[in-house]
Amino acid sequence: MRTETDPTAPPIDLPANCVYLADTNELIPQHRGYELTPCEAQKLPVGDYSVRVGVMDCPHLVVVERKSLENILGEVTVGRRRWEECLQRMADQVRSAHVVIESTWERLGRGGWRHTKVHPNAVQGSIVSWMTRFRVCWHFLPGRLEAMRMTRWLLNRAATDIADGHASG
């Protein structure tokens, strides 16, 4: 619901007969998953968040994969193979797949990270490569709250379209 005091409220509400789905891994405290309401935990085939519209679970129609700055840097280096397999599954299995990054493109290009020596060109170059290889939308937001808001906006819009019959299962 939109309120003046909720900085994560998107301009479109989640339809009344819908609920957010969060992958069970997102609810582990150290993952610092987003607080979406109403929300149910479910092992999703791919992605971190999706929606249920009425009685239909919709991870085949829409998913959001959340990445903090630290996560995406890890995917460029040690987690690359697993991450590319995840992107391929998202592209193959989901009609509207999204990666939401809790960092701006400019920040990714500056480098200077304390916990890794990966070069900013390697980070941005890898992401551009993934953008062109996999049918997945990428969103770069300046921080966690903005990324949570975008996640809610994407899921609310998809749920509205599904509820209105604009996307079929």
User: What pLDDT does 1 receive?
Assistant: 47
**Please, which pLDDT band fits residue 30 given cuts at 50, 70 and 90?**
low
Q: State the SS3 of 37-51.
A: CCEEEECCCCCCEEE
**pLDDT above 60 for 13:** yes
Confidence (pTM)? 0.91
> Helix (H, G, I), strand (E, B), or coil: what is residue 126?
helix
Q: What's the pLDDT tens digit per position in 131-144?
A: 999 999 999 999 99
Q: What's the pLDDT tens digit per position in 59-74?
A: 999 999 999 999 999 9
Q: Where are the beta strands (DSSP E) in 45-132?
A: 49-53, 56-57, 62-68, 96-102
Residues of 39-49 as b/e, b for ≥16 C-beta within 10 angstroms?
beebebebbbb
What value does the mean pLDDT of the chain take?
91
Query: Which class is domain 18-163?
Result: alpha beta
Region of 54 on the Ramachandran plot (φ > 0 left; ψ -120 to 50 alpha; else beta)? left
